[in-house]
Amino acid sequence: MKHKKGFQVGDILPLALVIVVAGVGIAFGLNILGDVKSDMETENATGSVNAGEQNAEYNATGDTITAVAKFSSKLGIIVTVIVAAILLGILVRYLMNS
């Protein structure tokens, strides 16, 4: 079996699927975190949770939502860098073999 080195055009599809699955996972995660945060707001309004306990959990959930949302906004840049690296690798390999 011949050992391949470097990237090929066929490597783009699996990487694209990974990025799509990651994006869907992040979207569902943000949806769930939003539901948790709204449930905390509802519990606090009914008075079933102490204000001190709710603040730490509520703030942690809000901070997590903010952090994950920032990461997901960078997926376009991550995809661009990956595709550029694959294309540059293919180009360099082609030019070295010519």
One-letter amino acid of 27: A
Nearest 5 degrees, angle CA 10-CA 93-CA 15? 30
Q: What is the pLDDT of residue 20?
A: 84
Q: Which residue has the tokens 């690798």?
A: 89
One-letter amino acid of 81: V
10-69 pLDDT, tens per residue? Answer: 777 787 788 888 888 888 888 888 888 887 777 666 666 555 556 777 788 888 888 888
Q: What is the pLDDT of residue 48?
A: 60
Structure tokens at 51: 């204000």
> Among residues 21, 39, 23, 31, which one has the least CA distance to residue 65?
31
Is a pLDDT exceeding 70 seen at residue 1?
Answer: no
Is a pLDDT exceeding 70 seen at residue 76?
Answer: yes
